[in-house]
Every structure is written in structure tokens, then in C-alpha cells.
Amino acid sequence: MDIGLQVQTIPSVNITSLKEAPIHISSKIQPHGILLVLAEPDLKILQISNNTLDVFGISPENMVQKRLEDLVDPYQLERIKSGLSEQNLDFINPTKIWIRKKGDDYSVFDAIFHRNSEGFLILELEPAISQENIPFLSFYHLARASINRLESTKNLREFCQIIVQEVQKVTDFDRVMLYKFDDDGHGSVIAEEKIAELEPYLGLHYPESDIPKPARKLFIENSIRLIPNANFEPVEIFPVNNPVTDRPVDLTKSSLRSAANCHVEYLHNMGVGASLTISLIKDQKLWGLIACHHQTPKYVSYELRKACEFLGRVIFSEISAREETEDYDYRMNLTYIQTLLVEYMSQEDNFIDGLVKNQPNLLDLTSAKGAAVCFGGNYTLIGETPKEEDLNFLVEWLKNNVDDEVFYTDSLPSLYPDAISFKNVASGLLAIPISQRNYVLWFRPEVIQTVNWGGDPNKAFEVNQSQGNLRLCPRKSFELWKETVRLTSLPWRFVEIKAALELRKAIVNIVLRQADELAQLAQDLERSNAELKKFAYVASHDLQEPLNQVANYVQLLEMRYEAQLDEDAKEFINYAVEGVSLMQTLIDDVLAYSKVDTQAIAFQATEVDTALERALSNLRKRISETGTTITHDSLPTVMADGTQLMQLFLNLVGNAIKFRSNEPPQIHIGAERLEDEWLFSVRDNGIGIDPQFSDRIFIIFQRLHTRDEYPGTGMGLAICKKIIECHRGRIWVESQLNQGATFYFTIPAGGRERERRNGRNTQNNLFS
């Protein structure tokens, strides 16, 4: 939620630096105690608060550079020194100290020691209300009683209510609240116990700027904060700068540290006379606060504060546990759905089917109303989603703006304004990138909500300028202010985000496995290609030799024993020689077929005209014998392999002559430019082909006629088809029996690379 502020009057101000001014380094304290900055080991007083004259009757100037032993008697000093030898000073806090005022009068203080980040020993003296230390066991009883009540509560709300009741009972503050932070820093009162006269704050939200970042950060280190009198006059520390570091000391862990002006004003505006605040920390993060208000000043002893802190901690660990159990059932259900989805995915050829085809599906994993799987440029949609066109832009935006393994928002339009147009389906987005442009997306519709604020959050504070100083002033009115929140969806819960992340892992694994399988297929294909080549090589060399041997010996037989052979024997020998010769042609054709290699050809700009001329000159003899006339259109230059193109014409024109009718063959070679390819045709006036066979003729070793009718191996058109496929074109025939035939083939105008990009070969690399 974006809560603005009124800064129009002074636009150039750097609000952040005002909002986030450091508060832990201070030269002032609250006046109800005395603060000493000591150097160890001799406990020399480096600095002291400027209120010693009132309390001890000695001025601070007369105390700095003296030692602690000048203030306390040797017996006490011994006790203190032995306590200071401990690493953890909590054991000696608080220590009762008697300090002699002027004359014989003594004052009793609660002495609280800590070492600050700079290594100084800070001693804070607070007035002791009782002269006795409260034994630890009383903490325990306090906590025990509360916990007994808590154990019987049913839900988190009731539980929180008991916490505030117990703290109220122990401290007797007019109002005790449980304040919970949201992810964006704003917070709300989720439980409250108060005296009847006060207006309730329960359910109200407060903007992030009410408790700025430095204040929240401080609460992580120092979990308890008392302002016993909001009308206090701060006391300076003397000297202001530490003589060793030459700057004010770090008071992060001090309890007397003065409060920021802005906050003091805030307390006044709220009508608060005293406040006690206890931090609640979960997983090293500030989860919330127990905030206590009193209308009049109220002092709380160190021990009681510690007891409250202890109570807060013990009870809060129970809250955390409860929060987790409340999530437990839902979490278990999501885990179950996730297991099913992984199983469905592994059963399908395409994992996406596993995510959308069954019950439960993707939607159930995150309680979304719509989902999209964007994979390899395609979208699979389920439920209510934006249109594909909108998704294209959204995915582009995600790609440019999101690096993480998961992205989620309950207000997509505030980050990506174009989303306003589809707010009804996708005001909330949860997205997991699978790989670069591949995503799974879940959507939630807009849900219009009313939020009750403690005062108008758009006027949370003002920037004031007085005597050249800029300062922030908190709002005066905390009256109920209702906000209607639009363009947001129900928030994604942590368990849902976690489930999405788990699914991501599963999908990445499956996609990787499929990529592996593809690589395996490619490898197998390569191997079988290599085997075919090896076979062709063996066929051409090793088979030809014995074949020649057969032919030679049969012919030798005929020559040597001609006289003894009758006509039948001579005919048989002829058949044998013919068979050998046919086998030789077959071997040559298989070799030619296997050489049309799909991989290793470097295409060049090739004049089709030249390729055709070379083919025709090979056919010269048959052309003249058959009285064939050949005409052609003007032919282009294409990206191709010249030899293969020649071989193509050789086969097609050769066939046109071979399958001629009684007429002398007339063959025309046509060329026509289509949008991004050339369409070639070879038209004849031959015997034609029955259309039912027009596919079969391109299959290897398929023949429509007996070898006696028309000689040949039946490999010619299979070779043509392979050549054209290698050029990323298509080949087909159009014909009617006895009406001539036209063979068509295409060659991409931009060569085979361009055609591949245009999408004929759309198998994208999954991880590119």
C-alpha cells in the first residue's frame, strides 16, 4: 500500500533523510535517571548526564575524569567489579547502589550496566522503587499464571487478547495493545485491553512512517522501551562529545536515551502521558510490538520491565507456534496437491498437460483463479486469465524486471500500470520463471477492501520549516479514516509462495530430463546416419568387388564354353549379367541417396539455369533419341547445393522422358516467385500417374511399374525428396493417368537458415 504524504509545499526536501534520521546516537537522555559513560578497567568517568547537581548535589564538571570509586564505597565497588568480569552483564542487572549525596544522605538506585558498540561501559542509574531485588522466581510465577490461561485458548485472536490482558494486569497501563507489522512496514492493532473511557484502537491501521525504520531497527537490539513521562525535558550529556571518539556515544542499548522530538509530539497528539513498548521478534525480524499507553506519567521499574519482556518472549514463542499450526492443515493440503501434480507431470509426454488436465490442477496449488504456463512461446491457459496478447507483454516485463526464483504481488497495477486493463482477473500475480522466457503464472482478481486507518494516512505527517530547520510533524488527528483499496487482490500466503517454489524445482527437473532425452534422440539419429554412410561405403567398395567377380566369371564361362552351351544356357548367362548390372546401379543409387547429407552441406548462390543445363547435357543422348523438346522459364539464382540441384533435374527430366506416351516428350521447366520461396515445376506430356499413388512414388524402392516395362531402381524420386528436404523445401506431384504429370518443388528464397527461423523448424532450445 502506498501511503503518500503532504510535501507539495517543499518539494525539494529529502524526506527519507528526515524520516530515517539516526536516533541511536544521541547526546540527550530522559531526566528520570543518570547516565555515566565509563572507561574500563579503571572505571574512569568520561561523560555524565547533566542532572547530577539535582540528584547528588555535585556538578557534572566535578565528576568527569574522576572514577566510580569516588562515588561508591569500596565494598560496593568490589561487588560491581566482580560482576563486570562476566561477559554477560544481564546477571548483575539491576544492582542496587547506594550513592552518598552531600552530607550523610544516601540515595538508592537500580544500576544497569551494558557495554556499547564502541566498547564503553554505560552505567544507568534509575530510582529504585523498592530497596529489594525482585527474585527471578516472581518472573516465573508471572509467566506461569499467564501461560496457564493461554494453554486453554482456541485461536490466535483469543491468544493475543490474553497477552494484552495479562500485560495490562501486571503493569496497570490504561491501554495495552498488540501491534502487528505488515510486510510493507505499516501495521495494525490486533488485540487491545483498555480502560473504558478510552476510545478503542482495535482494528486500526497505522502508516509505516509512524514507526520509522531506525526505530524498528533499534527494537531488534533493545527490546524494551520506557518513556515514563512524555512531557519530559531532555538532559544533555556532559561533555556532548565523547573525549575518546570526539562524537556523541552510541546509546542503542540504553534505557534512558531521550526520545525523538517527532515521537514525543506524536505521543502528545495521541494524549499519551507514558509509554512502555516491548518488541516481539520472530526469525530475526520485528513481528510486532506490545504497546502500552498511560494517560498520565508512569514509572515502571527495571525488574517489572524485564518481567514484561520475559512474558513477551515466552508468550510470543507460543504465538509463533500457533501461527504455524494454523497454517499446518493448509500446508499439508498444498503438499499433497504438489505431490499429485509432480506425478501427473511425470506421466504425460508434455509436462504442461499434467499441470492443467486433471483435478487438482495448477489453480489449486495456490488458490488462484487463473493460471498460465508460458513455454517455448506457447501459452496454456486455465481459469480466468489475461489475454495471450497481454501475457506476451507481461512476460517481457517480468523478463526485464525480475531476477528472482519467484515473484509475487497483490497489486500488479501499481508496479505494472498496463495491468489495469485486466485488473478483474490479475490484480494479483505469482510468477515462477522456469528458464529465460518460460514461466508459470498464477492470477487473482481485484478485491475491493476497506481499511480503517488511525488518521488519514495520506497526511501521516507534515514537513515544517521553522528558523531554517526542517522537521516532520506527526498528524494531529487520529480519528478513524476509511480507505477503499482498489487494484489489489487477496495477498499470496507464504505457504502458497513456498508451494510454487517447490513446483518450480519439480518442473525444472522434468524439463532438464526432457532436454536430456532430446539430446539422446539427436545422438541416436546421428549414429544411424553414420551407420547408413558406413553401409553405403561398404556397399560401394566391398560389395562391388565380388559382384564384378561374378560378372567376370560368368562372361568368361560364356566365352570359353561358347561351343558347348545351348541357347537356353546362353540366355541364363545373360540374365545373370543383367542382374549383376542392375545390382551395380542399385548400389550406386543407395550411395547417391546416402550422400544427400542433411548436415554437412554448405549452400551457395546457385544459378538454377546452370544446374539444369548440366543435367540436360547428361541426358543429351536420350533427348535426341526420343525427339524430346525441352523449354523453360527464366530461372532464378537460389541458395542451394549445385550438384544436388543438377541431380534433381537429372531425375525429374529423366523420368519425364522415361515415362513418355506415344507422343514425343514435351517438357517444360517453370519457376514462379511466391512470398518467401520459389516454386519450380517440371511438366511433361507422358503417361501420368494415378493420383492415389502420388505419395507412394517418393518412398524408397517403391515402383509402380515392373522393371520390364520401365527399367530403374525405384530410388530416383526418393533421392529427389531427400534433396528437397535438405533444402527445407517441399516436393509433390500433380497428375492424372494418361494426361501427363507435373512435379512441383519449392526452395526457400532466403536459403535454409532463413526458413528455419521463419518457424518451419520450431523445436526451440528449451533453455535458450
> Backbone phi, then psi, for 305, in 5-degree steps?
-60, -45
> How far apart are CB 282 and ligand BLA at their closest, in Å?
17
> How far apart are CB 205 and ligand BLA at their closest, in Å?
9
> How far apart are CB 203 and ligand BLA at their closest, in Å?
11
Could you tell me the three cell numbers for 258? Answer: 531521550
215 vs 653, beta carbon nearer ligand BLA: 215
> How far apart are CB 276 and ligand BLA at their closest, in Å?
8
Among 375, 442, 461, 698, binds ligand BLA (CB under 6 A): 461
> How far apart are CB 454 and ligand BLA at their closest, in Å?
6
The CA dihedral of 184, 185, 186, 192, to the nearest 10 degrees, is 130
Q: How many residues bind ligand BLA (CB under 6 A)?
A: 26
By the 10 Å C-beta count (0-12 exposed, 13-18 middle, 19+ buried), 222 is classed as: middle
170 vs 289, beta carbon nearer ligand BLA: 289
234 vs 413, beta carbon nearer ligand BLA: 234
Compute the radius of gyration of the chain from its Cα atoms. Answer: 46
List the one residue out of 5, 324, 323 whose CA is nearest residue 180.
Answer: 323
Cis amide linkage into residue 664, ω under 30° from 0: no
**Angle at alpha carbon of residue 451, lines to 3 and 431, rounded to 5°:** 70
Query: In 10 A of CB 65, how many CB atoms?
Result: 10
Q: Are 379 and 389 a contacting pair, CB within 8 Å?
A: no
> How far apart are CB 160 and ligand BLA at their closest, in Å?
15
212 vs 748, beta carbon nearer ligand BLA: 212
162 vs 280, beta carbon nearer ligand BLA: 280
Query: Which CA distances in Å does 336 have to 340, 356, 361, 440, 630?
Result: 6, 16, 12, 19, 74
- The C-alpha atoms of residue 598 and residue 692 are separated, in whole angstroms, by 29
Give the range of 254-262, 376-384, 612-620, 622-630 binding ligand BLA by CB under 6 A.
254-262
**Cα atoms found within 13 Å of the Cα of residue 454, Cβ hemisphere only:** 23
> How far apart are CB 486 and ligand BLA at their closest, in Å?
24
Among 370, 474, 665, 686, binds ligand BLA (CB under 6 A): 474
> How far apart are CB 251 and ligand BLA at their closest, in Å?
10
Helix axes 136-151, 156-171, angle to 10 degrees: 150
Query: In 10 A of CB 387, how many CB atoms?
Result: 12
Could you tell me the three cell numbers for 420? Answer: 489495469
> How far apart are CB 87 and ligand BLA at their closest, in Å?
27
Among 111, 143, 176, 215, binds ligand BLA (CB under 6 A): 215
Cis amide linkage into residue 127, ω under 30° from 0: no
Q: Which residues contact 26 (CB under 8 A, 6 or more apart)?
A: 248, 251, 257, 258
Contact set for ligand BLA, span 191-210 (CB under 6 A): 201, 206, 209-210
List the one residue out of 256, 230, 330 whose CA is nearest residue 26.
Answer: 256
Establish if 408 lies at the interface with ligand BLA (CB under 6 A): no
Contact set for ligand BLA, span 544-573 (CB under 6 A): none
DSSP per-residue codes, 748-762:
ETTHHHHHIIIIIS-
> Backbone phi, then psi, for 660, in 5-degree steps?
-85, 160
CA 646 to chain centre: 55
Each residue 409-448 as x (binds ligand BLA by CB under 6 A) or -, in order, gives ----------------------------------------
> How far apart are CB 475 and ligand BLA at their closest, in Å?
7
List the one residue out of 462, 480, 443, 266 whose CA is nearest residue 362.
Answer: 443
198 vs 530, beta carbon nearer ligand BLA: 198
Among 33, 60, 94, 212, binds ligand BLA (CB under 6 A): 212
291 vs 611, beta carbon nearer ligand BLA: 291
Establish if 455 lies at the interface with ligand BLA (CB under 6 A): no
> How far apart are CB 192 and ligand BLA at their closest, in Å?
9
Amino acid at 480: L
- The C-alpha atoms of residue 674 and residue 281 are separated, in whole angstroms, by 72
Contact set for ligand BLA, span 257-316 (CB under 6 A): 259-260, 262-263, 266, 275, 277, 289, 291
CA 528 to chain centre: 41
Query: In 10 A of CB 125, how many CB atoms?
Result: 24
- The C-alpha atoms of residue 404 and residue 430 are separated, in whole angstroms, by 12
Each residue 676-715 as x (binds ligand BLA by CB under 6 A) or -, in order, gives ----------------------------------------
3-state secondary structure of 522: helix
134 vs 473, beta carbon nearer ligand BLA: 473
In the chain, the largest separation of any two C-alpha atoms, in whole Å, equals 159
> How far apart are CB 11 and ligand BLA at their closest, in Å?
18
> How far apart are CB 352 and ligand BLA at their closest, in Å?
47
> How far apart are CB 149 and ligand BLA at their closest, in Å?
24
Establish if 463 lies at the interface with ligand BLA (CB under 6 A): no
> How far apart are CB 210 and ligand BLA at their closest, in Å?
4
Query: In 10 A of CB 687, how many CB atoms?
Result: 19
225 vs 728, beta carbon nearer ligand BLA: 225
215 vs 363, beta carbon nearer ligand BLA: 215
Establish if 160 lies at the interface with ligand BLA (CB under 6 A): no
Establish if 232 lies at the interface with ligand BLA (CB under 6 A): no
Establish if 331 lies at the interface with ligand BLA (CB under 6 A): no
263 vs 727, beta carbon nearer ligand BLA: 263
> How far apart are CB 109 and ligand BLA at their closest, in Å?
22
Among 36, 112, 122, 177, binds ligand BLA (CB under 6 A): 177
- The C-alpha atoms of residue 493 and residue 205 are separated, in whole angstroms, by 20
**Cα atoms found within 13 Å of the Cα of residue 624, Cβ hemisphere only:** 4
Among 6, 13, 19, 618, binds ligand BLA (CB under 6 A): 19
H-helix segments, 620-761: 620-626, 642-658, 716-726, 751-755
Establish if 224 lies at the interface with ligand BLA (CB under 6 A): no
254 vs 409, beta carbon nearer ligand BLA: 254
Could you tell me the three cell numbers for 25? Answer: 546516537
Amino acid at 609: D
Establish if 250 lies at the interface with ligand BLA (CB under 6 A): no
- The C-alpha atoms of residue 291 and residue 164 are separated, in whole angstroms, by 9
Residues that bind ligand BLA (CB under 6 A): 19, 23, 177, 179, 189, 201, 206, 209-212, 215, 225, 227, 259-260, 262-263, 266, 275, 277, 289, 291, 461, 472, 474
